[in-house]
Structure 1
Amino acid sequence: MLSVPHLDREFDYLVSEEQSDDAQPGVRVRVRFHGRLVDAFLLERRSDTDHVGQLGWLDRVISSEPVLTAEVRRLVGAVAARYAGTRPDVLRLAIPPRHAGAEKTERVAPLLPVVTPVDPAGWARYNRGEAFLDALRQGRAARAVWQATPGESWCDRLAEAAAAAVSGGHGVLAVVPDQRDIDALWQAATSLIDESAVVALAAGLGPSARYRRWLSVLRGEARLVIGTRSAVFAPVDRLGLVMVWDDGDDSLSEPRAPYPHAREVAMLRAHQLRCAAMIGGYARTAEAQALVTGGWAHDLLAPRPLVRAAAPRVIALDDDGYAEERDAAARSARLPSMALRAARSALDRGAPVLVQVPRRGYLPTVACARCRTVARCRHCMGPLALSDRGAEGAVCRWCGRIDAALRCRRCGSDAIRAVVVGARRTAEELGRAFPGTPVVTSAGDSVHPAIGPGPALVVATPGAEPRAPAGYGAALLLDGWALLGRQDLRAAEDTLRRWMAVAAQVHSRADGGTVAVVADSTIPTVQALIKWDPVGHADAELAGRTAVGLPPAVHMAAVDGGSEAVAALIAQAALPADAEVLGPVDLPPGVRRPPATPAGQPAIRMLIRVRRDDGLALAGALRDAIAVVSARGDHEAVRVQVDPLHVG
């Protein structure tokens, strides 16, 4: 496959008589192009050509396995058009590298697997839940955005939906954020569906094992595919249901060109095949809410009395309003007395307590105790952090150098204070406040998938919270300002998602479950957690973005690179008539520079905004402009992302 954008088109080759039987549409082939051999896919066989001139010969058929199906080929083309990308880039995401040994495995005749009858009681708790299951059995194109209730076993509900579709003779695709979710859904699914018909696809598999499993899907042996973002392209036979769990998770956004989001690809696939689709989560994104308000999907909600009965008690403790009520132990653990009492009550009942801290490490950011100037590295100006109690000097988080003689650049003081307290420091403080209670830290490279029964204090960063077999008795959500105060379009949405993921694991109010969040109680996101109203929050987010012209109310493209390269690309593009060009602005934090940006030249970002109806026109214009720039040989100097996850 040719990676240069201006060569993203079909090329004709002659096929010899000896190769004719194996050279079928969808197989991998090797051809000579511009004097060198390149790998390609054979798209179709024709008896004529519109090429004027002499045709070359197909060099050889690499494998007779038709790995590129017509359905996936159509999806690849649609994704490339949607994200202003090239088909070769999308094909690299859709089809894993070949392993010859895996193709030699014996084929198994596809059979309808044994499926345990689904008990509809779990879905009956939701309005129109049973009707949704019936639609899946009958193969109808039901589309839903499912709001899971607190304490809900989401993997059991997804497994039941999959079993209903499989029992009707249809294939199912389930996309989840990470390996822990794959394992949980696999366990639930194989209790209802014959294990031989369930396949898990994840990046953690070795190349050979992943390709072998992918081939079992291609050959129709698997009826349910569970995987992370790239599994959304899996060639599931007779696909009848596509499911995405927790679509707000960053890991569902592909970091490689053309940067598609698994949710968008899944919904595009459901639209092409006219099959059922479901997006589920404890919280809700503005994009999912837009599908409901636009009429493409309907709500799957539980009645409010049931939600209130299942939810824990949520209390907000304002950052500046509880200092006077701390007792001695609370001061050492930077917790208000009310949160401390909730934790003690849960531990006395024999239940674990979860403490969510936004940052890992010990003291990830420190400042001068006198003038509050943030401590920075003398070499690269990166932020300094203390790695442990009694550490000899601070470590730069950018270059790794150690500053053994901390002294403020502004006032000369050698006294420091914590700006942000990390998970390990919090665990240390809680250990002093609760002597004799086991303290577990789950963060960074040391993530615990689950904890054992019994009382324990679990300190975790967002996304690394272990599962508790019987749920948590209480949860303490610290430093809410660190999550809510991020300069990011999705800060509020992402904060509520992370908080609700924790609160959903806490016992109900009737069982004594309490969630204490340290944040301003007047903030709408905090109120949404207290009321357990993710739908209202998503609706408000969508309305707010519509008012100011931000995705998903509009389509927006980000063009990153050096100022000259960005200006040249935009000038080349035949943008829609009402397109707005915004910028330039600095690249958002954490966004890497395009690889060919000239050294010493700052990378900038220009934004192009169009109406929803002009999204494909915008992507097409940028795609054509990239092809022109590519023909000049400098396409790597610019990066184009349509509807990027982080606008700025």
Structure 2
Amino acid sequence: MDPAPPAPDAPARERIAKVVLDSPLPRLDHLFDYRIPAALADEAVPGVRVKVPLRVAGRVADGWIVAVADTSDAPGELSRIDRVVSSAPVLAPEVWRLARAVADRNAGVASDVLRIAVPKRQARVEQRWVAAEREPAAPIEAEPDPIAEALVAGRRIAALPTAHVVEVGGEWVGGWAADIAVTAAAVAAAGRSTIVAVPDRRDLDQLEAALEAGPAAALVLRVDASRPPAARARAHLAALEPGPHVIIGNRSAVYAPAAELGAIVVWEEADPFHQEPLAPYAGTRDVALLRQEQSGAGLVLLSSSRSSTVQRLVELNWMEEWGAPRGRPDVVLTPDDGRGARIPSAAYQAVQRALTAGPVLIQVARPGDAALRALRAGDAPVPIDAGRTAHELGRAFAGVPVIVADGDHVRDTVPPGPKLVVATRGAEPRAPGGYRAVLLLDGARMLLRESLWVAEDCLRWWSGAATLAAPDAPVHLVGVTGDVATALATWRSADFAARQLVDRRVLRFPPTVRLAAATGPLKAVEELVDAWAAVGADVLSRTSEERGERVVVRFSTGAGRRVAEVAKEALIRHGSARRPKPPAPPPPVLRVRFDPHEPF
């Protein structure tokens, strides 16, 4: 009997794409299922950008494919993907997992995180990347580094850096940058990638210089947002390739894709520049902690002084302390001498001696020259600032050049030779070989700043300036006494952080608890406060503002997940409103921010 003729080929079953929409609306913050047309089957893979239809008003939305499946649990007939924007899989799976975790921890929307994590599309850059032929990077050799070995093994470390400037490749950089360069090179030699996040552009330039002078120079990818869009897109795509890489940037660098991630490094984790100003406002340190848990990579939080947040992690045995720092500034506590002079005689004499050998750094609290202009105009006195300090020093040390470095006068370095450098905190330039003396003025005024973290901030600012001194140069802290001054003089910031932590436990202040702030219409805020109270959050402060009611609540770290879930539910109900036609202002909507750095 002849066999039956073969049946005609059945049409291939369309697969299902799980898509996250690029929308800030909380109610759309979940995966949507779309059918993949046969014509797009080869292109519609996880990570690519797509255009998909929305059933609301027939619009087309942007999104990313997160996963591809054979079936869907969604009810009804599924729409089809409209088109694949690019075949470059720009959203790596580990970045999606991190974005989802960050959003959930902060009652945020995952697509808001992805807008920070994934650069805007540069069509030509992506086309060239897709068409390019790539070869794996050649292995490198590097000096053994104990911290690198610990990081590759997945350990979590709190460390202090080399406490003075060093010369690498003919350029003077902070000891911290040289330390990170050595560690990153050793991690790369083990075949693993490193992500390094630093607060600002000046730190990034130092780090890049240190890395480019070492064996990992060819592996460096700079992904900070200050780069031209095309350059940032190229670095992001390069990070998707097989590693190892050394990925450096500001706070967004912690989201970078990284093949074989072996280490995450955060420099100065308590610096306010690590606080993300965009929703859902997750700071670098918190994102790095989440990524470390997800990836199993090592983590090092490196800082010029220990914060109470890191000290808490050490006391919980979640992080380990890493030895004593190399070098220690010679700090002299210099009290006011009763003459009313801004610079006591002991510090004045130290400046005179130092100027015979090189530059001297004077750190002040206030930028600008308003005080000097008021003095010259005969107006009411204005608190002394950088401009007036420079004027007075120029008269006291006639013939010595005076340089001002602040937000309006940005300087990364100063040339060698005798000179006075007046700088505001964080704006201090580097000097070849280090400064021959450092004066820390206005310390008492800095400690009067209203902030939940003022003592830790001051210790970090003073420590950072002190590390710019030459190894044998004096550092004078003027007019400050007490625990914070002793911590600087003894270079034992961990002990100071431990004492701060004890006080914060008694007061129930961060980091021993977490905070959340909600702002919006009275009814929405009251409803959220009641829901928060039911899961263990209590009100810390409440005020009425022009744009609605504002409340700050605190809760235990263990209650964080439920507190965030409750906030997300409230945001879905109250977090958006129809915008009226101009010139009418938009109505207030409910907004929530977790872990605000300055809650009050």
Specify if TM > 0.5. yes
CA shift for structure 1 position 500: 0.3
1:440 aligns with 2:413: no
For 2:331 and 2:68, locate their aligned partners in 1 and report how far apart those are by CA, in whole Å: 65
Contact 2:367 / 2:407 at 8 angstroms: preserved in 1? yes
CA shift for structure 1 position 636: 5.9
Contact 2:575 / 2:589 at 8 angstroms: preserved in 1? no
1:144 aligns with 2:169: no
CA shift for structure 1 position 604: 4.7
Q: 1:277 to 1:636 in 2, by over 3 A?
A: farther
For 1:627 and 1:93, locate their aligned partners in 2 and report how far apart those are by CA, in whole Å: 22
Partner of 1:363 in structure 2?
370
Matching residue's letter, 2:334:
A
Matching residue's letter, 2:227:
L
Q: 1:113 to 1:608 in 2, by over 3 A?
A: farther
Partner of 1:641 in structure 2?
593
3-state SS of 1:277 partner: strand
For 1:519 and 1:605, locate their aligned partners in 2 and report how far apart those are by CA, in whole Å: 38
Matching residue's letter, 2:63:
A
1:615 aligns with 2:560: yes
Partner of 2:478 in structure 1?
518
1:540 aligns with 2:499: yes
Contact 2:139 / 2:191 at 8 angstroms: preserved in 1? no
Matching residue's letter, 1:546:
R
User: C-alpha offsets along residues 243-275 of structure 1, whole Å, 9 cap, x if unaligned?
Assistant: 001111111110010001111111110111111
Contact 1:14 / 1:56 at 8 angstroms: preserved in 2? yes
For 2:125 and 2:449, locate their aligned partners in 1 and report how far apart those are by CA, in whole Å: 46
3-state SS of 1:104 partner: helix
Contact 2:197 / 2:250 at 8 angstroms: preserved in 1? yes
Contact 1:110 / 1:220 at 8 angstroms: preserved in 2? no
Q: 1:427 to 1:570 in 2, by over 3 A?
A: same
Partner of 2:333 in structure 1?
315
User: C-alpha offsets along residues 544-571 of structure 1, whole Å, 9 cap, x if unaligned?
Assistant: 1111111111111111345444224334
For 1:466 and 1:28, locate their aligned partners in 2 and report how far apart those are by CA, in whole Å: 43
For 1:429 and 1:204, locate their aligned partners in 2 and report how far apart those are by CA, in whole Å: 37
Q: 1:116 to 1:549 in 2, by over 3 A?
A: same
CA shift for structure 1 position 461: 0.7
Partner of 1:118 in structure 2?
143
Percent identical pairs in the alignment equals 36
Within a 5 Å distance, the mapping from 1:49-60 to structure 2 comes to 49-60=72-83
Partner of 1:173 in structure 2?
195
CA shift for structure 1 position 603: 4.9
User: C-alpha offsets along residues 115-137 of structure 1, whole Å, 9 cap, x if unaligned?
Assistant: 342165xxxxxxxxx3x33334x
1:67 aligns with 2:30: no
Counterpart selection for 2:277 from 255, 260, 268: 255
TM-align CA RMSD: 2.2
For 2:229 and 2:461, locate their aligned partners in 1 and report how far apart those are by CA, in whole Å: 32
3-state SS of 1:557 partner: strand
Q: 1:580 to 1:110 in 2, by over 3 A?
A: farther
| TM-score, reference length from structure 2 | 0.89
User: C-alpha offsets along residues 590-611 of structure 1, whole Å, 9 cap, x if unaligned?
Assistant: xxxxxxx8xxx36553122111
Contact 1:113 / 1:197 at 8 angstroms: preserved in 2? no
1:606 aligns with 2:543: no
Partner of 1:558 in structure 2?
517
For 1:545 and 1:164, locate their aligned partners in 2 and report how far apart those are by CA, in whole Å: 38
For 1:217 and 1:92, locate their aligned partners in 2 and report how far apart those are by CA, in whole Å: 17
Partner of 1:467 in structure 2?
430
Contact 1:316 / 1:526 at 8 angstroms: preserved in 2? no
Contact 1:484 / 1:491 at 8 angstroms: preserved in 2? yes
Within a 5 Å distance, the mapping from 1:210-359 to structure 2 comes to 210-220=232-242, 223-302=245-324, 310-318=328-336, 322-324=337-339, 331=341, 334-348=342-356, 350-359=357-366
Unaligned runs of 5+ in 2: 1-21, 166-174, 579-585
For 2:76 and 2:457, locate their aligned partners in 1 and report how far apart those are by CA, in whole Å: 56
CA shift for structure 1 position 585: 3.7
Q: 1:415 to 1:361 in 2, by over 3 A?
A: closer
For 1:337 and 1:195, locate their aligned partners in 2 and report how far apart those are by CA, in whole Å: 47
For 1:267 and 1:449, locate their aligned partners in 2 and report how far apart those are by CA, in whole Å: 31
3-state SS of 1:315 partner: strand
| TM-score, reference length from structure 1 | 0.82
3-state SS of 2:302 partner: strand
For 1:631 and 1:484, locate their aligned partners in 2 and report how far apart those are by CA, in whole Å: 40
Contact 2:92 / 2:257 at 8 angstroms: preserved in 1? yes
For 2:97 and 2:224, locate their aligned partners in 1 and report how far apart those are by CA, in whole Å: 23
Unaligned runs of 5+ in 1: 121-129, 365-385, 392-413, 587-596
3-state SS of 2:554 partner: strand
Q: Give the stretch that moved more between structures: 431-440 or 180-189.
A: 180-189
Partner of 2:68 in structure 1?
45
User: C-alpha offsets along residues 339-361 of structure 1, whole Å, 9 cap, x if unaligned?
Assistant: 1111111102x221111111111
Within a 5 Å distance, the mapping from 1:352-431 to structure 2 comes to 352-363=359-370, 387=373, 390-391=376-377, 416-418=380-382, 420-431=383-394
Matching residue's letter, 1:581:
V
Partner of 2:581 in structure 1?
none
3-state SS of 1:451 partner: coil
Contact 2:188 / 2:244 at 8 angstroms: preserved in 1? no
Q: 1:363 to 1:481 in 2, by over 3 A?
A: farther
1:579 aligns with 2:537: yes
Counterpart selection for 1:102 from 118, 125, 130: 125
Q: 1:239 to 1:614 in 2, by over 3 A?
A: same
Contact 1:576 / 1:617 at 8 angstroms: preserved in 2? no
CA shift for structure 1 position 387: 4.7
Matching residue's letter, 1:315:
L
Counterpart selection for 2:183 from 161, 177, 196: 161
Matching residue's letter, 1:95:
V
CA shift for structure 1 position 449: 0.2
1:27 aligns with 2:48: yes
Q: 1:554 to 1:313 in 2, by over 3 A?
A: closer
3-state SS of 1:57 partner: coil
3-state SS of 1:447 partner: coil
CA shift for structure 1 position 194: 4.1
CA shift for structure 1 position 454: 0.9
Matching residue's letter, 2:338:
A
Matching residue's letter, 1:93:
I
3-state SS of 2:69 partner: coil
CA shift for structure 1 position 144: 0.5
For 2:432 and 2:102, locate their aligned partners in 1 and report how far apart those are by CA, in whole Å: 40
For 2:118 and 2:374, locate their aligned partners in 1 and report how far apart those are by CA, in whole Å: 45
Partner of 1:506 in structure 2?
469
Partner of 1:629 in structure 2?
574
1:134 aligns with 2:149: yes
For 1:387 and 1:101, locate their aligned partners in 2 and report how far apart those are by CA, in whole Å: 52
For 1:567 and 1:105, locate their aligned partners in 2 and report how far apart those are by CA, in whole Å: 53
1:492 aligns with 2:455: yes
Aligned length in residues: 559
Contact 1:479 / 1:518 at 8 angstroms: preserved in 2? yes
For 2:89 and 2:83, locate their aligned partners in 1 and report how far apart those are by CA, in whole Å: 15
Q: 1:636 to 1:12 in 2, by over 3 A?
A: farther
Contact 1:575 / 1:617 at 8 angstroms: preserved in 2? no
Q: Give the stretch that moved more between structures: 43-52 or 108-117.
A: 108-117
CA shift for structure 1 position 526: 1.4
Matching residue's letter, 1:440:
I
Q: 1:614 to 1:451 in 2, by over 3 A?
A: same
